[in-house]
């Protein structure tokens, strides 16, 4: 079974600085997809960024980028120029074609942004 | 376009009572999902549906039933609530186009079972 591990329960960053959130996963599949979701205090789950495993190029969405290391099964999220509105829980998630369309989530990292 | 909506937003039950959570989406999505979120455990899949009239078990299906009689609605039922079912429940939906297509989530329902 696939597992997703987020080893940092909490992180803190100074406003305008850069922070990296870690995620590792365990799979024997070669065709899969990885996601980062943000959950602010409102509880709404918001997709931040996604990565297809067959793509070597790291995904980027404005201030958010990933470092996808397929051989190491690592998928970290980098937030540049951190803003107060980035404070939230961040979840890493995995989906593969053979997993029956199921998303497997990590346990989350709570990010605090210091003004 | 309301997206994914959930009814109710909050509910308190006594042990043994039953209830149904309603999820509705207006995006014509084929796939729908029910998750529960517990502290320190992320989101776990309860049941899901890949189309009207179909349902399948997820990671933690025990104690729950679901129905998908209409494409836009996905119901989650608790027949005899237990304190272990105290959680926040999320519904989600997506179109089955490519494995990277986004799941859209509802705002969640906080359920407390006393």
* B82 min Cα distance to partner chain A (Å): 23
What string of DSSP letters covers B23-62?
A: EEESS--SEEEEEEE-TTS-EEEEEEESSTT--EE-SS-T
A64–B contact, CB cutoff 8 A: no
pLDDT of residue B77: 97
Chain A residues whose CB is inside 8 A of the B91 CB are: none
Select the residue of A50, A52, A102 nearest B58 (Cβ to Cβ).
A102
User: Residue B42: closest CA among chain A residues belongs to which residue?
Assistant: A107
Per residue in A26-80, pLDDT tens?
998 888 999 999 999 999 999 999 999 988 899 999 999 999 999 999 999 999 9
pLDDT of residue A91: 97
Per residue in B21-46, pLDDT tens?
999 999 999 999 999 999 887 899 99
Decide if B105 and A44 are in contact by the 8 Å CB cutoff.
Answer: yes
Mean pLDDT of chain A: 93
The answer, yes or no, to whether residue A100 has pLDDT greater than 70, is: no
Chain A residues whose CB is inside 8 A of the B99 CB are: 31-33, 52, 95-97
């Amino acid at each position: 079974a696939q597992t997703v591990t987020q080893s940092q329960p909490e992180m803190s960053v100074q406003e305008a600085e850069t922070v990296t959130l870690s995620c590792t996963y365990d799979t024997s599949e070669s065709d899969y997809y990885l996601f980062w979701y943000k959950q602010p205090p409102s509880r709404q789950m918001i997709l931040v960024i996604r990565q297809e495993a067959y793509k070597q190029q790291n995904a980027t969405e404005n201030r958010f980028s990933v470092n996808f290391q397929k051989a190491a099964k690592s998928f970290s999220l980098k937030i540049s120029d951190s803003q107060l509105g980035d404070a939230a829980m961040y979840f890493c998630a995995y989906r593969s074609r053979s997993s029956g369309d199921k998303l497997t989530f990590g346990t989350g990292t709570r990010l605090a942004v210091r003004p | 376009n309301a997206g994914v909506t959930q009814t109710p937003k909050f509910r308190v039950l006594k042990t043994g009572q039953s209830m149904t959570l309603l999820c509705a989406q207006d995006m014509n999505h084929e796939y729908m999902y029910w998750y529960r979120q517990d502290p320190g455990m992320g989101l776990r899949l309860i049941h899901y549906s890949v189309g009207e009239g179909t349902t399948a078990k997820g990671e933690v299906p025990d104690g729950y039933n679901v129905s998908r009689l209409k494409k836009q609605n996905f119901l989650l039922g608790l027949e005899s609530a237990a304190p272990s079912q105290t959680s926040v429940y999320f519904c989600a939906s997506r179109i089955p186009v490519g494995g990277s297509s986004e799941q859209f989530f509802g705002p969640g329902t906080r359920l407390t079972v006393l």
